[in-house]
Amino acid sequence: MKKSFIISAIALLISFNSHAQSGIGIGGGISIPVFEASDVSSFGFRLDANFLAEVSSGIYLGGATGFANMFGKEEKFPLVTIDHDDFQYIPVAVAARYKLSSEIEIGGDMGYAIAVSDNWDGGFYYRPIFGYNVSDNFQVNMSFTGVSDSWITWSTFDIGILFRP
């Protein structure tokens, strides 16, 4: 089931790529866990790719994917030490962006996070984003990422960069 979902997602993203070459964005950043996630992780990193096409003046729609890894932290108790596992996922999402001005961009991604780590099954993925365009090809951004399954929401605050070749 997971393999067919991943293959379908890759085919969709390749389709976006072939129709919107000028809308490709590739980036990455660091993630700081918040709320429940900060109990078991101290920091992480993310790699991002999106494929956006302008559908109206300043409005862009497309797809987004990437890879995120949150490093598990060690908790020491008087009688035992617990090493939490890393948490990894691949988001497959619909992406939307709106340019408020040539410098300011807002938007978000919404979809599903496919679990890569064995200790989790995946879940609903959402990521509101605020970006500052330093140039036509370079953006600095901030986002809040949430991944929810039936019992917990994994949340991070992210700071990153995005290149548009």
SS3 content of the chain, % helix, strand, coil (to 5): 15, 65, 20
Give the pLDDT confidence of 40-52 residue by residue, as tens digits.
778 999 999 999 9
Query: Which position has the higher pLDDT, 152 or 55?
Result: 55
Q: Which helix (H) or strand (E) holds 153?
A: strand 153-163
Tokens of 44: 């992480």
Give the pLDDT confidence of 6-34 residue by residue, as tens digits.
444 455 444 444 443 358 999 999 999 88
Residue 31 burial (CB < 10 Å; 0-12/13-18/19+)?
Answer: buried
Q: What does the pLDDT read at residue 20?
A: 38
Give the pLDDT confidence of 68-124 residue by residue, as tens digits.
988 888 777 888 877 777 788 999 999 999 999 999 999 999 999 998 877 777 899
Binned at pLDDT 50, 70 and 90, residue 38 comes out as low
CATH classification (class only), 2-163: mainly beta
Residue extents of the structural domains in the chain: 2-163
